[in-house]
Structure 1
Amino acid sequence: MEKLQFGSYSLTWLNGGVTNMDGGAMFGVVPKPLWSKKYKVNEKNQIELRTDPILVQDGKQNILIEAGIGNGRFSEKQLRNYGITEESSIDQSLAQLGLTKKDIDKVVMTHMHFDHATGLTDIEDGKYISAFPNAVIYTSKVEWDEMRNPNIRSRNTYWKENWEAIGQQVETFEGELEVAPGFKMIHTGGHSDGHSILLLEQGDEFMIHMADLMPTHAHENVLWVLAYDDYPMTSIAKKQKYITYGKEKQAWFIFYHDSDYRAVRFNPSGEIIESIKRDKGQNKS
């Protein structure tokens, strides 16, 4: 498991599973000859997208960023359609750290699409239960409201099986929320109406989790947005603001989906100047 020390916070990437989604959808209107130079694509035109939660620890609390895709939660049709070749093994990842899901104090959800939120619940004796029973689960109010009342488009990704068992644990916010010292959630919209990013500050060091506004390092170009984005012009505006900010601050950009990198730093031209690569021997897919 890859780690990154950031001030008082220690980050560890867990194994939350993997999907393989259509590359054209993931890069929107960007021509394939351009994006395929930056990100590997298979013969089905799919790109590998990890769903690996990030455990953040400061010696006082265990905070999880995103929740993975869970285990045993998909039908054969869904496994095929979403290109799922590996399901979550968060339990095993936590065990290597001497932890269980009961030790998670907070779960920070940038948004509640199935590839982020399915790991929030487990199945026990045929019933859905909270996977992190002792945690407070944070997401924006806009996201939580749509999760429970999806529209004709979003109902394909907001599933009642992912929220009914955790309702009493959820705390929502509007605008911004500091979930821990120097650890802030910022509601951006864009990918979904309730989408948020994470901004971490430790002294003069900065870290940004752009979530699905920049799901991989290859989405660094502010104009490269997903066909899945509900509000692409909002995505572009927020990317322009926060990616520029991150580059100016020489911030670490951390990823949940990237198949190659856990974290990168860019120079102003968008070139990677420092990185933590994913150990592909750890997570086979």
Structure 2
Amino acid sequence: MLHIGKFKLTPLNGGITHMDGGAMFGVVPKPLWQDKYPNNAQNQVPLVTHPILIQSQYGNMLIDSGVGNGKLDEKQRRNYGVTYDSDVTAALNQLGLTPSHIDIVLMSHLHFDHALGLTTADGQSVFNNARIITSRTEWHEMRHPNVRSRATYWEMNYRGIEHQVEPFDDKIEICPGITMIHTGGHSEGHSIIEIKDDGMRAVHMADLLPTTAHRNPLWVTAYDDYPLDSIFQKEELFEKFDDAWFIFYHDVRYFAAKFDGREIIDEVRRKPAHV
């Protein structure tokens, strides 16, 4: 848990994947990254997919949605190393909430590991009362993927929620203190979320900074559609948010961290994940 002024941030249990380490670190040689992030004997790295609940006087908001429940077949579970599904509903219940209490879902982007939790296995909206905010570019790509992106933009993740989606262009103020900013890079429509209040700041850079090990601007994933854009965005954002908390959807060890250069100087650790 992390407090940014009036905003209370809590990670929820959204499932876990295990992706190839070479893909997650792109052109970075394994001897450089393996000491900074854990890998298993199959060269896979664990990546939680934990949505971030934001509570305040402005309601209940969620950043991204987890890997859902029962939406992957056995081949997909094996390929993506999914060892457990989302438990977002139970996590919300522990806080006295249900999915219907979520007012806004902020989708950094709509790749399957972020968007599977938006709908049920039979195509119903999970967060049926929520506005779903994503960039206009991302929403278009979700529905009209190209030969590369169709591997991650799946129809089953948007059928049933179209009426809830509110696309934006360059930037949108969700409420006083929370802003979504279109960055591109990881995907053409990728966005970050800035949270600020009472002299404090946090930023969710989503898959521009999937783990603390990716703090080096040159360390981008092989999944990035526009890696040079990712690098340039990271350089600018690290300078802009030099005093901010960075919050994570994927990092298996850290929910939040502050950096001095590339060194972690403050942290909020996760509870051990089922890796």
* 2:226 alignment counterpart: 231
Q: Distance in 2 between matches of 1:16 and 1:77?
A: 20
- 1:74 pairs, out of 44, 67, 72, with 72
Deviations along 1:172-210, whole A, 9 cap, x unmatched? Answer: 000000112110100000000000011112132111111
TM alignment of 1:34-73, pairs within 5 A: 34-73=32-71
- 1:270 pairs, out of 255, 262, 275, with 262
Q: Name stretches of at least 5 consecutive residues in structure 2 with no aligned partner.
A: none
TM alignment of 1:125-164, pairs within 5 A: 127-164=122-159
- 1:23 pairs, out of 21, 24, 32, with 21
Q: Which amino acid in structure 1 is aligned with residue 86 of structure 2?
A: S
Pair 1:252-2:242 in alignment = no
Query: SS of the residue aligned with 2:109?
Result: coil
Q: Which amino acid in structure 2 is aligned with residue 9 of structure 1?
A: F
Q: Distance in 1 between matches of 2:238 and 2:22?
A: 23
Deviations along 1:239-262, whole A, 9 cap, x unmatched? Answer: 000012222xx1000000000000
Query: SS of the residue aligned with 1:21?
Result: strand
Q: Distance in 2 between matches of 1:129 and 1:71?
A: 12
* 1:101 alignment counterpart: 99
Q: Distance in 2 between matches of 1:270 and 1:236?
A: 15
Q: Distance in 1 between matches of 2:12 and 2:198?
A: 26
Pair 1:13-2:11 in alignment = yes
Q: Distance in 1 between matches of 2:8 and 2:15?
A: 22
- 2:84 pairs, out of 83, 86, 107, with 86
- 1:166 pairs, out of 152, 161, 174, with 161
Query: SS of the residue aligned with 2:24?
Result: helix
* 1:261 alignment counterpart: 254
Once the 2 structures are TM-superposed, how far is the Cα of residue 60 of structure 1 from its aligned partner? Answer: 3.8
Q: Distance in 2 between matches of 1:49 and 1:33?
A: 19
Query: SS of the residue aligned with 2:228?
Result: helix
Deviations along 1:130-189, whole A, 9 cap, x unmatched? Answer: 000000000000000000000000001000000011000000000000112110100000
Given that 2:4 and 2:198 are in contact with CA atoms closer than 8 Å, whether structure 1 keeps it comes out as: no
Aligned CA-pair RMSD: 0.8
- TM-score, normalization: structure 2? 0.99
TM alignment of 1:144-223, pairs within 5 A: 144-223=139-218
Identity of aligned residues (%): 54
- TM-score, normalization: structure 1? 0.95
Q: Distance in 2 between matches of 1:17 and 1:55?
A: 15
* 1:284 alignment counterpart: 274
Query: SS of the residue aligned with 1:10?
Result: strand
> Which 4+ residue blocks in structure 1 deviate beyond 6 angstroms?
none
Once the 2 structures are TM-superposed, how far is the Cα of residue 229 of structure 1 from its aligned partner? Answer: 0.4
Q: Distance in 2 between matches of 1:62 and 1:21?
A: 31
Given that 2:7 and 2:54 are in contact with CA atoms closer than 8 Å, whether structure 1 keeps it comes out as: yes
Q: Distance in 2 between matches of 1:238 and 1:121?
A: 31
Deviations along 1:37-61, whole A, 9 cap, x unmatched? Answer: 1101110000000000000000440
Q: Distance in 2 between matches of 1:110 and 1:155?
A: 18
Query: SS of the residue aligned with 2:271?
Result: coil
